[in-house]
Structure 1
Amino acid sequence: MKTTILAIAVCLTSLTTQAQTIKDFFVPTSPKNKATFYTPSKTGGRTDMTRTIYYVDKGGSYDITDAKMFSGNPTAIQTKTVTFTDNEVKMTKSVSTTMMETNKQRTHNPPTILLKMPAQGKTVTWSYTQISGDALKCTASWTTLNVDGKDLKTIKVEQEIEGFGAKTIEYYVQGIGLYKTDMKGSDGKVQAFEKFDQLSHDPTAK
């Protein structure tokens, strides 16, 4: 009997794993379509640096609008058109507004791979060039984060700009999407860079 129960559990785990795709970790569960973040101070309080990400379903693709703000004023706004395979997020188009450019439209051909989902218990690496022009080396692995008392599967991505010692660490949580961002210095010390605030539904996001 114990052997049969174990076999069923393994089978169910396998089916659950197979059913998951990278979209489950990149896009919040509907109807949530807006995520907000803040940059903490050294003591953990809020600073005037915030970030809002909108997820808009376009049928065969998603438009992801990422707005970074300081004291309520935008410092950079990027909209990425992305598509999904089972284990990759690919950017096909982008529109960028920064201090250096306004509504700069780009077509990414071939598509730029923004995120990969590693096999269970494995890591996966890839490289890509950001809209800003920075070349990133990325390594993704599995971990678990406790969110509101629940342990949730998470893809941990370490990103390093070529020639730069520090790393950015992003965490993508199943059902939430991007959850937090840390910075890892060349000395190995990790500090919080962006903390999750909340998920909500914005009916005006189209």
Structure 2
Amino acid sequence: PKSGTTSPGGACVPGPGAGRTIAKTNIVLAATATDPDGNLKGLRFRYWKLGATPPTGTLVTSLSSGKGSLTIPTTSLADKTTYSWDVRAEDTAGDVSTFFPAGTSEPCRFTIDASAPPAPDVTSDVFPEATSDGATWATVKFGGKGPITFSASGATKFSYAFGGLNLKEVTASSGAATVPALEPMHSGPNTLQVYAY
């Protein structure tokens, strides 16, 4: 599998360490897989407390273009606790992939912090999140502008900055805010940091 994410939280952060910090809310694990034989059965998601034994996990067979997700209810998560998670693909012939994330022996991690809003979700049709294959680009040329939306349950404001420079703030309404004309600093991939308060 590839493109493993938590929502809220974003792209997988492998251990060691605490990984993403996320408020106590329902968390959706997601990933995408393909099968050369065309007989992909599903994605098996596992999550467990740091230091515990990884469980068998849950096989998700309801996929959309190879993408599957698993929702962890907030009632299953403890505050101030770090969790690990990973995912593998399984096909109808019984073959399985290695666990995502690839290239490391460490699983993805996140830590629950109920005292803060969840890490914001960031969405934009003009500036989509970059993918590891480098095939995802903005829909406007460099110098163009476009809207981007931040959302996090309970947030009253957001701050954002490209590469940590020139931090700006925007007030949230019902936990969301839209910047109508975001303009990246340079061509190619840009890193946008967003914080919820």
TM-score (norm 2): 0.25
TM-score (norm 1): 0.24
Whose strand proportion is higher, 1 or 2? 1
Whose helix proportion is higher, 1 or 2? 1
